[in-house]
Amino acid sequence: MAILPEPHLFLDRDGTLIREEHYLRDPARVVLEPGVPEGLHRFTCAGFRLVVVSNQSGVGRGLISEDDVTAVNERVAELLSVHGVSISSWHYCPHLPDEGCLCRKPRTRLFESAASQHPVDWEQSIMVGDKPSDVQAGLSLGMKAVLITTGYGNLHITWAKAQDVKAVRSLVDLADIAIFGDKLRLNGAA
């Protein structure tokens, strides 16, 4: 029996799910961005699979370890579980920006890895992050892509407008648009 592709909500971690802290290594410092549990709960109820895709160049720089990344991810998962939300899978790139790897966003290997675990309905899926590289990765795969204005997102609003990419303040706002509003408003339509 074939497994049917599902809509996915692909999420950047730092500055999107959790407050941006440069090269975060201490799980005790994890703070969810406002609206994250509520927004993710809405997406889960609407049938979206939740997947985190994150650039973690601090590993390649020797500033954090892969164990640190795992510990922070586990803390995020713990905080979300209190609200009945679970992430299906976690994927990260440990490489430096100039290494030319295929997994660092805006490249797509992290997404392909997720799709190998659970088939993705790319047209119905959404990528959300606080940097242009997040948005560009989603768009290159044919997804809807959204800039969130938390983290570094406020620095890229002009870029988003020039690219005709929707900018939202929170995952609750994104859920309101994507689930309860006109889905076509995310990219390329008023």
- Known catalytic residues are 12, 14
Task: For residues 187 and 60, give the distance between their C-alpha atoms in angstroms, rounded to a whole number.
Answer: 33
The backbone region for 116, taken as left when phi is positive above 0, alpha when psi lies in -120 to 50, beta otherwise, is alpha
Residue environment code for 151-188, b if the CB has 16+ CB neighbours within 10 A, otherwise e = bbbeebeeebeebebbbbebbbbbbebbeeeeeeebbe
